[in-house]
Amino acid sequence: MEIDELKSELENDYVMIKRKKWWSFLGGAFAFLIVAGLISYKSSLQALEGKAAKIATKAIQDLKAEAEKDTKNIKGKLDSSEKLITGLNQKVNAIKGLFEKLEAIEIAINNGNPWEKFSDNIKDVLRDPVKYEYAILRNGTHFRKLTESTWNSRGYRVMTEPFMTGDSEKFYLGGSLWIWDTQDPRDDSCVYHLYYHATNEGIVAKGGNGCTKADKGGEGHIYRRLRK
C-alpha cells in the first residue's frame, strides 16, 4: 500500500473516530501503521490528542467570541429598554395627571363644583390659590371664604370674606384675620388671630383670639374647590 493511500485511509478513519467508531480505526490503517513501523502507538495517541486539543480549543474560542457578541447585543438591548421604560413612565405620569384633572372637571360638572374638606392647616390655603379657592368652617357653623395675601414678600395674611359683626346697635362689617411671619412680633411663634372691622378711619384689626393652633386644626377645617 502506497503512503498516499495510507494517509487517505488514516484520514477516513479519523473522521470515524470523531463519530465515535473507534473499532474502525483500531482495525484499519492505525494497526497497519504500527505493524509497518511507521509510527508508534504512543506517538499516534499524542498526535491525535494534540489535534483534538486544537479542535476543542478552536471550538471554545468560537463559543467565547459568540458569547461576547451576544453579551454586547444583550447590553445594547437592555440600555435601549431602560430608555424606553423611562419614557413610558413619563408618559404614564402625564396620563395620570390628565386623568386627575379630567376627574376633577367631571366632579365639578356633575356636582356643581362642591367644596371639599382637605386640611386642618390654614397655611395650606397658600398651596395652589390659582387653581383653588378656599374657605374655613369655624365654630362648626360659620362657613367663610378665605383670601390670602403677602406684603413686600414678608409674612402671610389670610382673611375671611367680610360679614356683619358686633353685638349692639353699632355693627361693623368685618371678619377674621390670621397672620404669621410678618413684622408684627405677636406672630413670631404662632399663627396669630385678629378681628378686622371697617370703620370711618378705614379697616382696623384688633381683638381676636391671639396665638392659635390654626395650623393644627385649632380654628376649624379648611375647604377648597376648583376656581371657575
Task: Measure the CA–CA gap between 77 and 190, rounded to whole angstroms.
Answer: 57
Q: What is the pLDDT of residue 12?
A: 55
Q: What is the pLDDT of residue 49?
A: 56
Task: Indicate the pLDDT class of residue 15, thresholds 50, 70 and 90.
Answer: very low
Q: What is the pLDDT of residue 199?
A: 85
Percent of the chain with pLDDT over 70: 73
Task: Indicate the pLDDT class of residue 57, thresholds 50, 70 and 90.
Answer: low
Instruction: List, for residues 164-192, the tens digit of each pLDDT value.
Output: 887 777 788 899 999 999 999 999 899 99
**What ranges do the domains of the chain cover?**
117-226
Residue for grid cell 486539543: 53
Task: Measure the CA–CA gap between 153 and 17, rounded to whole angstroms.
Answer: 93
Q: Which three cell numbers stand for residue 74?
A: 444583550
Instruction: List, for residues 106-122, the tens digit of each pLDDT value.
Output: 776 777 788 999 999 99
Give 212's strand partners.
Answer: 191
Q: Average pLDDT for residues 75-95, to the nearest whole number?
A: 79
Task: Measure the CA–CA gap between 101 and 117, rounded to whole angstroms.
Answer: 18
Task: Measure the CA–CA gap between 170 and 161, rounded to whole angstroms.
Answer: 20
Instruction: List, for residues 193-226, the tens digit of each pLDDT value.
Output: 999 988 888 888 888 889 999 998 888 899 999 8
In this prediction the pTM is 0.52
CA distances, 199 to each of 124, 172, 180 (Å): 30, 7, 24
Q: What is the pLDDT of residue 4?
A: 60
Q: What is the pLDDT of residue 156?
A: 93
Instruction: List, for residues 131-150, the tens digit of each pLDDT value.
Output: 999 999 988 889 999 999 98
